[in-house]
């Protein structure tokens, strides 16, 4: 029996990534070394290199504010499976705590293929054993359509 599922990504970001700071002490403002991260996608074999790209802005909640605000943390200068480095312009713009979720403004990383799975922000996975179509409506909204003919 054939079926299809469409995933529509909202046009307005920032988007939660499921990637979290992984350092018990957190990191101070102006950190220019790599931040260790972990993610909710680990069970699907995903890592930070799937979600983050060099040159993209990472956002996080600045908890030093009376009312925490989602603000730009900095621009990524390097990324590995378990680290994100924000070294430009003096490093991170503010301190980040352990387990703080990181956000991204790039809709193309909110839903992505890893192996045979379609991963959607928040860690949900759909088996993708046949095909996946991606389209853009010209306004920044990506539409992922998954087909299975199993």
**DSSP per-residue codes, the chain:** --EEEEEE--SS--EEEEEEE--TT-B-TT--SEEEEEETTGGGT--HHHH--TTPEEEEEETTSSS-EEEEEEE-SEE-SSEEE--GGGS-SS-B-TTPEEEES-GGGTEEEETTEEEETTTEEEE-SSEEEEEE-SSS-EEEEEEE--
Order of strands, edge to edge, in the sheet holding 34-39? 69-75, 57-62, 101-104, 15-21, 34-39, 83-85, 78-79
pLDDT at 133: 61
pLDDT 10s digits, 17-39: 888 999 999 999 999 999 999 87
The stretches in the chain having pLDDT less than 70 are 1-12, 40-46, 106-150
pLDDT at 35: 96
For residue 22, with 0-12 CB atoms within 10 Å meaning exposed, 13-18 middle and 19 or more buried, which class applies? middle
Q: Where are the domains of the chain?
A: 3-148
């Amino acid at each position: 029996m054939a079926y299809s599922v469409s995933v529509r990504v909202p046009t307005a970001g920032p988007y939660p990534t499921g990637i979290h700071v992984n350092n018990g002490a957190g990191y101070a403002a102006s950190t220019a070394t790599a931040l260790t991260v972990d993610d909710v996608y680990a069970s699907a074999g995903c890592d930070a290199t799937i979600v983050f790209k060099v040159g993209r802005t990472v956002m996080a909640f600045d908890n030093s504010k009376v009312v925490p605000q989602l603000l730009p943390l900095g621009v990524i200068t390097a990324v590995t499976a378990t680290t994100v480095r924000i070294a430009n312009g003096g490093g991170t713009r503010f301190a980040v705590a352990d387990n703080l979720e990181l956000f991204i403004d790039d809709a193309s990383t909110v839903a992505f293929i890893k192996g045979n799975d379609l991963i959607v922000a928040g860690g949900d996975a759909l088996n993708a054993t046949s095909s996946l179509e991606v389209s853009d409506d010209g306004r920044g909204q990506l539409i992922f359509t998954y087909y299975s003919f199993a």
